[in-house]
Protein backbone atom coordinates (compact mmCIF):
# COMPACT_ATOMS: atom_id res chain seq x y z
CA UNK A 1 0.00 0.00 0.00
CA UNK A 2 2.88 2.31 0.75
CA UNK A 3 4.82 1.59 -2.43
CA UNK A 4 5.37 4.51 -4.69
CA UNK A 5 5.68 4.15 -8.43
CA UNK A 6 8.08 6.69 -9.83
CA UNK A 7 7.51 8.85 -6.75
CA UNK A 8 3.74 9.00 -7.30
CA UNK A 9 1.39 7.50 -4.74
CA UNK A 10 -0.46 4.41 -5.94
CA UNK A 11 -4.12 4.87 -6.83
CA UNK A 12 -5.29 3.18 -3.62
CA UNK A 13 -3.27 5.56 -1.48
CA UNK A 14 -4.20 8.63 -3.48
CA UNK A 15 -7.89 7.83 -3.08
CA UNK A 16 -7.77 7.80 0.71
CA UNK A 17 -6.47 10.30 3.16
CA UNK A 18 -3.57 9.21 5.33
CA UNK A 19 -4.38 9.94 8.98
CA UNK A 20 -1.02 8.88 10.41
CA UNK A 21 2.25 8.56 8.59
CA UNK A 22 5.47 7.40 10.25
CA UNK A 23 8.59 7.79 8.12
CA UNK A 24 11.85 6.10 9.00
CA UNK A 25 11.16 6.39 12.73
CA UNK A 26 14.18 5.65 14.90
CA UNK A 27 14.48 5.51 18.66
CA UNK A 28 17.42 4.48 20.79
CA UNK A 29 17.46 3.87 24.54
CA UNK A 30 21.16 4.23 25.31
CA UNK A 31 22.80 1.59 23.13
CA UNK A 32 19.55 -0.24 22.45
CA UNK A 33 18.12 0.50 19.01
CA UNK A 34 14.43 -0.08 19.77
CA UNK A 35 12.97 1.28 16.51
CA UNK A 36 15.00 0.84 13.35
CA UNK A 37 13.20 3.07 10.89
CA UNK A 38 9.83 1.48 10.15
CA UNK A 39 7.41 3.33 7.83
CA UNK A 40 3.66 3.21 8.38
CA UNK A 41 0.69 4.82 6.64
CA UNK A 42 -2.68 4.47 8.31
CA UNK A 43 -5.71 5.60 6.37
CA UNK A 44 -8.50 7.70 7.77
CA UNK A 45 -11.22 5.48 9.17
CA UNK A 46 -9.04 2.40 9.36
CA UNK A 47 -8.64 0.05 12.32
CA UNK A 48 -4.96 -0.77 11.95
CA UNK A 49 -3.39 -3.53 14.04
CA UNK A 50 0.21 -3.55 15.21
CA UNK A 51 1.50 -6.95 16.28
CA UNK A 52 4.86 -8.57 16.98
CA UNK A 53 6.72 -10.45 19.71
CA UNK A 54 7.41 -8.81 23.09
CA UNK A 55 10.12 -6.19 22.90
CA UNK A 56 9.73 -5.66 19.15
CA UNK A 57 9.13 -1.90 19.51
CA UNK A 58 5.32 -1.61 19.35
CA UNK A 59 4.87 0.49 22.49
CA UNK A 60 7.92 2.54 21.53
CA UNK A 61 6.25 3.34 18.19
CA UNK A 62 3.16 4.51 20.10
CA UNK A 63 5.40 6.61 22.33
CA UNK A 64 7.02 8.28 19.32
CA UNK A 65 3.59 9.07 17.85
CA UNK A 66 2.19 10.46 21.11
CA UNK A 67 5.34 12.42 21.96
CA UNK A 68 6.30 10.54 25.13
CA UNK A 69 9.57 9.42 23.51
CA UNK A 70 10.01 11.50 20.36
CA UNK A 71 11.86 9.82 17.50
CA UNK A 72 15.53 10.80 17.31
CA UNK A 73 15.39 10.33 13.55
CA UNK A 74 12.47 10.23 11.13
CA UNK A 75 9.10 11.94 10.99
CA UNK A 76 5.56 11.48 12.27
CA UNK A 77 2.71 13.22 10.43
CA UNK A 78 -0.91 13.54 11.50
CA UNK A 79 -3.09 14.38 8.51
CA UNK A 80 0.04 15.65 6.70
CA UNK A 81 1.15 17.87 9.57
CA UNK A 82 4.43 17.05 11.26
CA UNK A 83 3.86 16.35 14.97
CA UNK A 84 7.16 14.84 16.08
CA UNK A 85 8.98 17.38 18.21
CA UNK A 86 5.77 18.64 19.81
CA UNK A 87 5.22 17.87 23.50
CA UNK A 88 2.61 15.20 24.34
CA UNK A 89 -0.10 17.68 25.37
CA UNK A 90 0.20 19.54 22.04
CA UNK A 91 -0.04 16.25 20.15
CA UNK A 92 -3.12 15.42 22.23
CA UNK A 93 -4.61 18.80 21.32
CA UNK A 94 -3.98 18.01 17.64
CA UNK A 95 -6.25 15.00 18.04
CA UNK A 96 -4.26 11.97 19.20
CA UNK A 97 -5.58 10.12 22.27
CA UNK A 98 -4.17 6.93 23.72
CA UNK A 99 -4.62 4.22 26.29
CA UNK A 100 -1.73 2.54 28.08
CA UNK A 101 -0.49 -1.06 28.11
CA UNK A 102 -0.60 -0.92 31.93
CA UNK A 103 -3.69 0.88 33.11
CA UNK A 104 -2.81 4.47 34.00
CA UNK A 105 -5.81 5.96 35.80
CA UNK A 106 -5.93 8.45 38.64
CA UNK A 107 -6.36 6.27 41.70
CA UNK A 108 -8.67 7.71 44.31
CA UNK A 109 -10.72 9.57 41.71
CA UNK A 110 -14.08 8.30 40.53
CA UNK A 111 -14.79 6.86 37.10
CA UNK A 112 -16.55 10.11 36.18
CA UNK A 113 -13.65 12.31 37.23
CA UNK A 114 -11.13 10.11 35.40
CA UNK A 115 -13.13 10.50 32.21
CA UNK A 116 -13.43 14.24 32.77
CA UNK A 117 -9.62 14.40 32.80
CA UNK A 118 -9.80 13.50 29.11
CA UNK A 119 -11.44 16.90 28.51
CA UNK A 120 -8.59 18.92 30.00
CA UNK A 121 -6.90 19.48 26.64
CA UNK A 122 -10.01 21.38 25.56
CA UNK A 123 -10.30 23.44 28.73
CA UNK A 124 -9.16 27.00 28.70
CA UNK A 125 -7.26 28.43 31.65
CA UNK A 126 -9.64 29.69 34.28
CA UNK A 127 -8.58 33.27 33.44
CA UNK A 128 -12.01 33.99 32.01
CA UNK A 129 -13.62 32.96 35.26
CA UNK A 130 -11.23 35.03 37.37
CA UNK A 131 -11.91 38.04 35.16
CA UNK A 132 -15.51 37.75 36.14
CA UNK A 133 -16.81 35.93 33.09
CA UNK A 134 -18.10 33.19 35.34
CA UNK A 135 -21.17 32.57 33.17
CA UNK A 136 -18.92 31.74 30.22
CA UNK A 137 -16.80 29.38 32.34
CA UNK A 138 -19.98 27.76 33.61
CA UNK A 139 -21.22 27.27 30.03
CA UNK A 140 -17.95 25.60 29.12
CA UNK A 141 -18.11 23.29 32.11
CA UNK A 142 -21.64 22.23 31.20
CA UNK A 143 -20.47 21.41 27.65
CA UNK A 144 -17.54 19.31 28.97
CA UNK A 145 -19.86 17.40 31.27
CA UNK A 146 -22.31 16.75 28.46
CA UNK A 147 -19.50 15.26 26.35
CA UNK A 148 -18.50 13.01 29.24
CA UNK A 149 -22.09 11.86 29.64
CA UNK A 150 -22.17 10.89 25.95
CA UNK A 151 -19.09 8.73 26.43
CA UNK A 152 -20.45 7.14 29.63
CA UNK A 153 -23.54 6.26 27.62
CA UNK A 154 -21.62 4.87 24.66
CA UNK A 155 -19.38 2.67 26.83
CA UNK A 156 -22.14 1.73 29.28
CA UNK A 157 -20.34 2.95 32.39
CA UNK A 158 -23.45 4.35 34.07
CA UNK A 159 -23.49 1.79 36.89
CA UNK A 160 -19.94 2.54 38.04
CA UNK A 161 -19.74 6.28 37.31
CA UNK A 162 -19.40 7.25 41.01
CA UNK A 163 -17.12 4.38 42.03
CA UNK A 164 -13.44 5.06 42.74
CA UNK A 165 -11.50 3.47 39.85
CA UNK A 166 -9.42 1.40 42.30
CA UNK A 167 -12.37 -0.78 43.31
CA UNK A 168 -13.65 -1.80 39.87
CA UNK A 169 -12.33 -4.88 37.99
CA UNK A 170 -9.41 -4.55 35.56
CA UNK A 171 -11.66 -5.07 32.54
CA UNK A 172 -13.74 -2.07 33.55
CA UNK A 173 -10.67 0.00 34.35
CA UNK A 174 -9.49 -0.54 30.78
CA UNK A 175 -12.90 0.55 29.56
CA UNK A 176 -12.61 3.73 31.67
CA UNK A 177 -9.25 4.40 30.00
CA UNK A 178 -10.92 4.03 26.63
CA UNK A 179 -13.64 6.42 27.82
CA UNK A 180 -11.07 8.98 28.91
CA UNK A 181 -9.41 8.79 25.49
CA UNK A 182 -12.76 9.17 23.71
CA UNK A 183 -13.71 12.14 25.89
CA UNK A 184 -10.81 13.99 24.27
CA UNK A 185 -12.68 13.69 20.91
CA UNK A 186 -9.60 12.40 19.07
CA UNK A 187 -9.10 12.03 15.33
CA UNK A 188 -6.64 9.20 15.95
CA UNK A 189 -7.16 6.75 18.79
CA UNK A 190 -4.13 4.71 19.83
CA UNK A 191 -4.77 1.61 21.94
CA UNK A 192 -1.86 -0.26 23.53
CA UNK A 193 -3.10 -3.79 24.25
CA UNK A 194 -6.66 -2.82 25.22
CA UNK A 195 -7.57 -6.45 26.01
CA UNK A 196 -4.48 -7.39 28.03
CA UNK A 197 -5.35 -9.34 31.17
CA UNK A 198 -9.02 -9.67 30.29
CA UNK A 199 -11.16 -12.78 30.45
CA UNK A 200 -13.10 -13.91 27.39
CA UNK A 201 -16.28 -12.07 28.32
CA UNK A 202 -14.47 -8.80 29.07
CA UNK A 203 -12.61 -9.16 25.77
CA UNK A 204 -15.85 -9.56 23.84
CA UNK A 205 -17.29 -6.46 25.50
CA UNK A 206 -14.17 -4.46 24.70
CA UNK A 207 -14.25 -5.51 21.05
CA UNK A 208 -17.83 -4.37 20.84
CA UNK A 209 -17.10 -1.00 22.45
CA UNK A 210 -14.12 -0.38 20.16
CA UNK A 211 -16.29 -1.17 17.14
CA UNK A 212 -19.09 1.09 18.46
CA UNK A 213 -16.66 3.95 19.02
CA UNK A 214 -15.15 3.44 15.58
CA UNK A 215 -18.52 3.49 13.91
CA UNK A 216 -20.29 6.18 15.95
CA UNK A 217 -17.37 8.61 16.08
CA UNK A 218 -15.78 7.88 12.68
CA UNK A 219 -12.39 7.28 14.29
CA UNK A 220 -9.09 6.11 12.91
CA UNK A 221 -7.64 3.51 15.26
CA UNK A 222 -4.10 2.21 15.71
CA UNK A 223 -4.23 -0.79 17.98
CA UNK A 224 -1.49 -2.97 19.44
CA UNK A 225 -3.03 -6.35 20.12
CA UNK A 226 -1.75 -9.80 21.03
CA UNK A 227 -5.00 -11.68 20.62
CA UNK A 228 -4.90 -12.82 17.00
CA UNK A 229 -8.62 -13.68 16.99
CA UNK A 230 -9.33 -10.03 17.78
CA UNK A 231 -6.85 -8.81 15.18
CA UNK A 232 -8.30 -10.93 12.40
CA UNK A 233 -11.87 -10.07 13.29
CA UNK A 234 -11.70 -6.27 13.64
CA UNK A 235 -8.54 -4.91 11.98
CA UNK A 236 -8.63 -3.81 8.36
CA UNK A 237 -4.87 -4.13 7.99
CA UNK A 238 -1.97 -5.07 10.23
CA UNK A 239 1.76 -4.47 10.41
CA UNK A 240 4.14 -6.84 12.13
CA UNK A 241 7.21 -5.60 13.99
CA UNK A 242 10.20 -7.69 14.92
CA UNK A 243 13.27 -6.27 16.62
CA UNK A 244 12.36 -2.68 15.70
CA UNK A 245 11.74 -3.47 12.03
CA UNK A 246 8.48 -3.85 10.10
CA UNK A 247 8.66 -7.35 8.66
CA UNK A 248 5.19 -7.64 7.11
CA UNK A 249 2.06 -5.66 6.41
CA UNK A 250 -1.31 -6.29 4.80
CA UNK A 251 -4.61 -8.08 5.30
CA UNK A 252 -4.70 -9.57 8.82
CA UNK A 253 -5.14 -13.29 8.13
CA UNK A 254 -2.59 -13.51 5.32
CA UNK A 255 -0.09 -11.33 7.16
CA UNK A 256 -0.04 -13.20 10.44
CA UNK A 257 0.32 -16.49 8.59
CA UNK A 258 3.25 -15.17 6.54
CA UNK A 259 6.21 -17.56 7.09
CA UNK A 260 8.49 -14.68 8.13
CA UNK A 261 5.97 -13.65 10.78
CA UNK A 262 5.51 -17.20 12.07
CA UNK A 263 9.31 -17.56 12.23
CA UNK A 264 9.64 -14.29 14.19
CA UNK A 265 7.19 -15.51 16.83
CA UNK A 266 8.90 -18.89 17.05
CA UNK A 267 12.28 -17.17 17.33
CA UNK A 268 10.95 -14.99 20.14
CA UNK A 269 9.54 -17.93 22.10
CA UNK A 270 12.83 -19.84 21.67
CA UNK A 271 14.72 -16.85 23.02
CA UNK A 272 12.41 -16.51 26.00
P1 LIG B 1 6.79 -4.06 22.72
O2 LIG B 1 5.77 -3.04 23.07
O3 LIG B 1 6.78 -4.47 21.29
O4 LIG B 1 6.73 -5.26 23.64
P5 LIG B 1 8.68 -2.01 23.56
O6 LIG B 1 8.47 -0.96 22.55
O7 LIG B 1 8.08 -1.81 24.90
O8 LIG B 1 8.24 -3.42 22.96
O9 LIG B 1 10.23 -2.23 23.76
C10 LIG B 1 11.15 -2.33 22.70
C11 LIG B 1 12.55 -2.37 23.29
O12 LIG B 1 12.87 -1.09 23.85
C13 LIG B 1 12.69 -3.38 24.43
O14 LIG B 1 13.97 -3.96 24.35
C15 LIG B 1 12.53 -2.52 25.67
O16 LIG B 1 13.20 -3.08 26.76
C17 LIG B 1 13.16 -1.21 25.22
N18 LIG B 1 12.59 -0.05 25.90
C19 LIG B 1 11.32 0.41 25.76
N20 LIG B 1 11.12 1.51 26.50
C21 LIG B 1 12.30 1.75 27.13
C22 LIG B 1 12.75 2.76 28.07
N23 LIG B 1 11.96 3.72 28.48
N24 LIG B 1 14.04 2.67 28.48
C25 LIG B 1 14.86 1.70 28.05
N26 LIG B 1 14.51 0.74 27.18
C27 LIG B 1 13.25 0.75 26.74
MG1 LIG C 1 4.29 -3.03 24.53
pLDDT tens digits, residue range 201-223?
A: 999 999 999 999 999 999 999 99
More confident residue, 124 or 60: 60
Residues 6+ apart with CB under 8 A from 267: 53, 242
Distances (CA, A) of 37 to 28, 32, 34, 258, 264: 11, 14, 9, 21, 18
Instruction: With a cut of 70, say whether residue 6 has pLDDT above it.
Output: no
- Ligand 1 atom index nearest CA of 35: 10
Q: Do 124 and 190 share a structural domain?
A: no
Return the pLDDT at 2. Answer: 42
Q: Do 91 and 200 share a structural domain?
A: yes
> Does residue 101 sit within a domain?
no
CATH number at 5 reads 3.40.50.300
- Ligand 1 atom index nearest CA of 30: 25
Q: Do 237 and 226 share a structural domain?
A: yes
Q: Do 132 and 74 share a structural domain?
A: no
Return the pLDDT at 138. Answer: 76
52 lines ligand 1 (CB under 6 A): yes
Percent over 90 (pLDDT), the chain: 75
- Residue whose CA is at the smallest distance from ligand 1 atom 25: 29
Whole-structure pTM over 0.85, yes or no?
A: yes
57 lines ligand 1 (CB under 6 A): yes
Cα of 166 to ligand 2 centre, how many Å? 23
Q: Do 137 and 27 share a structural domain?
A: no
Return the pLDDT at 272. Answer: 60
Q: Do 86 and 5 share a structural domain?
A: yes
Residue of 57, 241, 265 best suited for mutating to test ligand 1, as the one with most atoms within 8 Å of CB: 57
Q: Do 141 and 82 share a structural domain?
A: no
Q: Give the pLDDT confidence of 59-80 residue by residue, as tens digits.
A: 999 999 999 999 999 999 999 9
Q: Residue 192 — very low, low, confident or very high, per pLDDT cuts 50/70/90?
A: very high
Domain containing residue 243: 1-95+186-272
Domain boundary among 135, 152, 184: 184
> Does residue 30 sit within a domain?
yes
Are 157 and 175 spatial neighbours (Cβ–Cβ below 8 Å)? Answer: yes
Amino acid sequence: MQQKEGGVATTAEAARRVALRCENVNRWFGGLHALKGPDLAIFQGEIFGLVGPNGSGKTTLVNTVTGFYPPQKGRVLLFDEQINGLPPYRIAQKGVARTFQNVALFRGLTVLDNILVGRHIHMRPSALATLGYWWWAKKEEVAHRAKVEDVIDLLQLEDVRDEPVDVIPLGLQKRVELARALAAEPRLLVLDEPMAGMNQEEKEYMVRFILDAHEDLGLTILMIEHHMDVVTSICHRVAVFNDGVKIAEGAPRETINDPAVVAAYIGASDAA
